[in-house]
Amino acid sequence: MSWSNMKELIKKLSDMRGVSGFEYRITDKISDILRPYCDEVKIDALGSVIGVKYCGKKNAPRIMIEAHCDEIGLMVTSVTDEGYLTFTSVGGVDERTLPSTEVTVHAREDLWGVIGIQPAYLLEKGKTVKKKAMAVDTGLDAKKVKELVSVGDSITLAQSVGEFGDNRFSGKSLDDRACLAAIISVMERLQNTDLNVDVYAVAAVQEEVGCRGGKTTAYGINPDMAIAIDVCHGITPDNSDDAFDIGSGTVISVGPNLHPKLTDALFETANNRNIKVNVEVDGGNTGTDAWEIQVARDGIPTALLSLPLKYMHTSVETLHLSDAAATAELLAEFIKEQKGDMKWISF
């Protein structure tokens, strides 16, 4: 996949609006994007998208590559007499960033709105504005709002992805749609290639509320190995510890829940192909689907690749295109190298 095509794919995926639990709004679109590169595409009972490329060889090993397709967001908790919408969070929303944010309310029809708060001069000095003091203003009269909006409707951040600097992107839900773009790029790179493994590309649901889709798809596929792709922290002015420069390459995690032989094999592929990688040490729960995939069924050898991302869980998440491209290249080359015998991964 060319860089220009990768750019457009990231923008297209980011602009989709699928809060955790409401991914049904976007999974058909994701399926349509995957379909040209797969022999079969299906949506499972929980809502995750699974695209399969079969190698055509008997009893071929199964490799699962996975990114989540859901995004953080909000849900309507009430419609006030004045027509304002109160809300609660879905996933790890940083409420400090919500005031003055533009949003889309997914009601009987999509409504544009803004999150408003009291002017600063009316607030108690030094006091942090809490979510319960905020509301969505759609600009419509109360009667119209009550006709269109129901309690439980989802709300997404409205920020579209913009490109700035040298192949840098900023916008909503790059966690984890940029990683999903990398997986789609992998499937494209595997076209017209003689493989020795069946490849399962997964766009998992509900990661932001408990890593649920990763767990259920791993159980259903029962792969011989799995590689999850998510984001890690990029270096910002206030955070350089356990963070990586955007544009510095994919990040390979090492830790007790990440299979050492699989991880070492990814390092070897990167070294042989001159693909830039970084190392992140995860001594416990990674906070990603990899944590749940590795304990599905009787255990699945699992690795974790990450894209450095600045300003995580905001409407201005920022990353570099080269990291998504490098991740796709590493995964595709690793899959091509597999000989069909998975004995090497056993302890």
CB atoms within 10 A of CB 254: 16
Which string of DSSP letters, residue by residue, matches 298-328?
T---EEEEEEEEBSTTSTTEEEEHHHHHHHH
Catalytic one of 66, 71, 207, 292: 207
Nearest to 272 by CA among 188, 329, 342: 329
CB atoms within 10 A of CB 61: 18
CB neighbours of 67 closer than 8 A, spacing ≥ 6?
176, 179, 180, 182, 183, 202, 203, 204, 228, 229, 230
**What own/partner pairs with CB < 8 Å and gap ≥ 24 does 159-164 have?**
159/101, 159/102, 159/315, 159/316, 160/11, 160/14, 160/15, 161/10, 161/11, 161/14, 161/15, 163/7
Residue 324 and residue 251: Cα distance in Å, rounded?
11
End-to-end CA distance of the chain: 36
Residue 167 and residue 165: Cα distance in Å, rounded?
6
Burial class (CB in 10 A: 0-12, 13-18, 19+), 152: exposed
Identify whether 207 is a catalytic site residue.
yes
Contact 321, 166 (CB under 8 A): no
CA-to-CA separations, 221 to 48, 93, 182, 183, 230, in angstroms, rounded: 12, 31, 20, 17, 20
Residue 344 and residue 347: Cα distance in Å, rounded?
8
Q: Hey, what amino acid is at 342?
A: M
The residues annotated with a catalytic role in the active site are 207
